Amino acid sequence: MTPAPSRLWIKNPLAVFTANDLDAGGGLVVAGGRIAELVPTGGRPSEPCDATYDAGGHVLLPGLVNTHHHFYQTLTRAWGPVADAPLFPWLQKLYPVWARLTPEALEAAVEVALAELLLSGCTTAADHHYLFPDGLREAVDIEAAVVQRMGMRATLTRGSMSLGEDDGGLPPRSTVQGAEEILADSERLIRQYHEPGDGAVVQIALAPCSPFSVTSEIMVESAGLAERHGVRLHTHLAETLDEEEFCRERFGLRTVDYLESVGWLGDRTWLGHGIHFDDGEIARLGAAGTAVAHCPTSNMRLASGTARVLELEDAGVPVGLGVDGSASNDASNMILEARQALYLQRLRYGAGVPVERALGWATRGSAAVLGRSDIGQLAPGLQADLAMFTLDELRFSGSHDPLAALLLCAADRADRVMVGGVWRVVDGAIPGLDVPALAARHSAAARRLVDSEKRK
Ligand SMILES: [Zn+2]
């Protein structure tokens, strides 16, 4: 890690995307961990700088923001028994494996996921963790420690599952917790970790897993707790038609009606996936300001469907991107996810969907989804969270528009990433991170997890 000088001019980038109408053609000045000023094309900083970084070979973006993930799933990537399964059977096969998660395995999984994200230009990530088996009650505490060590920002959600198989839910009994325990731990985590203001490193949100794995009671109580503490609410919704059918059978309601019935249809809520909405539901979500984390790769891998992103945005729904858990993507790569979003939405709406719109979902849109106005754009006063890409690999050779080349030529790795004014990726690597040692520890943990399932 290299500490930043007191005023650093990141000078004259090859191309820049500010995610707003501001001109930063001459780069920007970083001071005190924030963006002090944008330098217009051909201009110079208004005050002297004590250091300059020549960005003439870099495409400069706001740090990418990931709005939906399950870090622990990096331990069950590309697992044969679910390689070709849709959501419900996929979950039912994986739940017993995940129920064996240990603190050591989770720690390695979080480190792998965050390192992958960081190397892809991501500076802030949301994680949805809902597994708290015996011995792993402090899962979110483990995650918070890794986030702080890696120097990224995260919204860690205290997930929950309370509706077991024997009560008509999907998860096995061994993976669910009682309401009292869930709510008490949610409150503890908010008090212990949630930073409400600008520049927050760790924020906490409450995240009952999905309509088919929690009771209505947990939804209602979580909404009340979130309101009392000013934290956000997250869940999976309208991911598959199986889920729609479950809601109709169990509650006699469509998904958005169910959401409203438990007090969640508001601007405190963001939804993972948000695919199967009708026109009226899209209008209601927009009017309420409920946000959506679009997860294109996962939705294609599990054949869940295609989110109606342009219509959601036009209705006023904040839309961001999520890589989703690594058992359904199986990569944690935010810049590639922006490419997937661009192409999936072009398939739905036509080739006129611009590259900038997809970059906007990955930055400004995702920041709004997480309820943050201090990140996701390049503007004076915002956090100095930056992602910088070079175009010197073979895959870019012959490209003309540097910004379009990022997505169209499939950039997959940032050269430099800054979080709060500190370089966290330098020359395409994370200073201080022993990647082979991490991969060895993580893959051994992954093997143990799956082998114990085989021995059952
Ligand atoms: Zn998910």
Residue 88 CA, ligand 1 centroid: distance in Å: 12
Amino acid 197: pLDDT: 92
Residue 408 CA, ligand 1 centroid: distance in Å: 26
Banded pLDDT at 126 (limits 50, 70, 90): very high
Query: What does the alpha-carbon distance between residue 322 and residue 351 come to, in Å, rounded to a whole number?
Result: 22
Amino acid 174: pLDDT: 85
Q: Give, in order, the Cα–Cα distances in Å from 16 to each of 10, 198, 387.
A: 11, 24, 10
CB under 8 Å to 260, separation ≥6 — which residues? Answer: 284
Banded pLDDT at 17 (limits 50, 70, 90): very high
Which residues partner with 159 through β-bridges?
A: 207
The beta strands (E) that lie in 295-392 are given as 319-321, 386-390
Query: What does the alpha-carbon distance between residue 220 and residue 258 come to, in Å, rounded to a whole number?
Result: 11
Mean pLDDT of the chain: 96
Query: What does the alpha-carbon distance between residue 56 and residue 226 come to, in Å, rounded to a whole number?
Result: 45
> Are 240 and 286 a contacting pair, CB within 8 Å?
no
Residue 205 CA, ligand 1 centroid: distance in Å: 15
Q: Give, in order, the Cα–Cα distances in Å from 314 to each of 103, 236, 238.
A: 43, 22, 19
Residue 138 CA, ligand 1 centroid: distance in Å: 20
Residue 320 CA, ligand 1 centroid: distance in Å: 14
Amino acid 5: pLDDT: 76
Residue 293 CA, ligand 1 centroid: distance in Å: 10
Q: Beta 416-419 vs 386-390: how paired, if at all?
A: antiparallel
Residue 374 CA, ligand 1 centroid: distance in Å: 25
Residue 275 CA, ligand 1 centroid: distance in Å: 13
pTM of structure: 0.97
Amino acid 455: pLDDT: 61
Residue 211 CA, ligand 1 centroid: distance in Å: 13
Residue 337 CA, ligand 1 centroid: distance in Å: 15
Confidence check: pLDDT of 456 > 90:
no
Q: What does the radius of gyration of the chain's CA atoms come to, in whole angstroms? A: 21
Handedness of CA 128, 365, 304, 325 (dihedral sign): negative
Peptide bond connecting 330 to the previous residue in cis, omega within 30 degrees of 0: yes
Residue 57 CA, ligand 1 centroid: distance in Å: 36
AA letter at 347: L
Residue 43 CA, ligand 1 centroid: distance in Å: 44
Residue 324 CA, ligand 1 centroid: distance in Å: 5
Residue 198 CA, ligand 1 centroid: distance in Å: 27
Confidence check: pLDDT of 453 > 90:
no
Residue 2 CA, ligand 1 centroid: distance in Å: 35
Residue 70 CA, ligand 1 centroid: distance in Å: 6
Which residues partner with 11 through β-bridges?
A: 27, 54
Residue 236 CA, ligand 1 centroid: distance in Å: 6
The mean per-residue pLDDT over the stretch 347-358 comes to: 98
Banded pLDDT at 249 (limits 50, 70, 90): very high
Residue 113 CA, ligand 1 centroid: distance in Å: 14
Three-state SS at 366:
helix
Banded pLDDT at 4 (limits 50, 70, 90): low
Confidence check: pLDDT of 209 > 70:
yes
Instruction: For residue 425, give the H/E element and its range.
Output: strand 422-425
Confidence check: pLDDT of 160 > 60:
yes
Q: Domains (ranges, CATH) in the chain?
A: 8-62+377-425 (2.30.40.10), 64-369 (3.20.20.140)
Banded pLDDT at 3 (limits 50, 70, 90): low
Residues written for the chain: 456
Three-state SS at 390:
strand
Q: What percent of the chain has pLDDT over 90?
A: 94
Confidence check: pLDDT of 179 > 70:
yes
SS3 content of the chain, % helix, strand, coil (to 5): 40, 20, 40
Confidence check: pLDDT of 221 > 80:
yes
What is the edge-to-edge ordering of all strands in the sheet holding 34-39? 34-39, 27-31, 8-11, 51-54
Residue 368 CA, ligand 1 centroid: distance in Å: 19
Residue 42 CA, ligand 1 centroid: distance in Å: 44
Residue 259 CA, ligand 1 centroid: distance in Å: 17
Q: Using one digit for the tens of pLDDT, what is the confidence trace for 285-342?
A: 999 999 999 999 999 999 999 999 999 999 999 999 999 999 999 999 999 999 999 9
Confidence check: pLDDT of 110 > 90:
yes
Q: Using one digit for the tens of pLDDT, what is the confidence trace for 131-154?
A: 998 899 999 999 999 999 999 999
Residue 209 CA, ligand 1 centroid: distance in Å: 8
Closest CA to 206 of 375, 214, 72, 88: 214
Amino acid 454: pLDDT: 63
Residue 61 CA, ligand 1 centroid: distance in Å: 26
Residue 286 CA, ligand 1 centroid: distance in Å: 22
Residue 317 CA, ligand 1 centroid: distance in Å: 19
Residue 452 CA, ligand 1 centroid: distance in Å: 24
Banded pLDDT at 247 (limits 50, 70, 90): very high
Residue 327 CA, ligand 1 centroid: distance in Å: 9
Residue 326 CA, ligand 1 centroid: distance in Å: 9
Residue 69 CA, ligand 1 centroid: distance in Å: 6
Q: Does 174 or 402 have the greater pLDDT score?
A: 402
The mean per-residue pLDDT over the stretch 366-383 comes to: 98
Residue 444 CA, ligand 1 centroid: distance in Å: 24
> Are 48 and 392 a contacting pair, CB within 8 Å?
no
Q: Using one digit for the tens of pLDDT, what is the confidence trace for 395-445?
A: 999 999 999 999 999 999 999 999 999 999 999 999 999 999 999 999 999
- How far out from the chain centre does Cα 430 lie? 20
Residue 172 CA, ligand 1 centroid: distance in Å: 18
Closest CA to 29 of 372, 428, 378: 378
Residue 233 CA, ligand 1 centroid: distance in Å: 14
